[in-house]
Amino acid sequence: MSGDSSGLCAIYQQLAELSLDMLRVCRERDWESFAALNAGEAALLARLQAFDAAQRAQWAAPERIEALILQTLSNQREAQRLLAPWREEIAVQLRSAGSSRKLANAYGGQGPR
């Protein structure tokens, strides 16, 4: 395996492992950890984008990389499924806070009498 494809495969391996961690914290509803892991994912994706097309064309382990990509995508789909109810819960809370703010503003901050 060439150095470039080895480095490329290592990044995909890290992404796959990170996606498992993200899925785990979603199951635990640990949203702060999810946000931190999401930042780590963004950093790995930036490293991945640094590989140019010529380097990608020289992959020595395309089957391994494909398997890692499929694993990562599967984990991400499941994480998104787990995130959906939390996102809806947050949206409801934000709407409620917005309504409370409007009422407070309408009644001079004292609320309805």
Query: In the prediction, which pLDDT does 14 show?
Result: 96
Cβ proximity of 34 and 25 under 8 Å: yes
For residue 76, give Cα distances in angstroms to 46, 58, 67, 69.
18, 27, 14, 10
Q: Region 27-36: what's the mean pLDDT?
A: 93
Query: In the prediction, which pLDDT does 110 show?
Result: 57
3-82 — its CATH code? Answer: 1.20.58
Indicate whether 112 pLDDT > 60: no
Residue ranges of domains in the chain: 3-82
Neighbours of 14 (CB within 10 A): 18
Q: Region 29-41: what's the mean pLDDT?
A: 94
Q: Which of 14, 6, 2, 1 is nearest to 68 (CA)?
A: 14
Query: In the prediction, which pLDDT does 37 show?
Result: 96
Instruction: Indicate the length of the chain as a whole number.
Output: 113
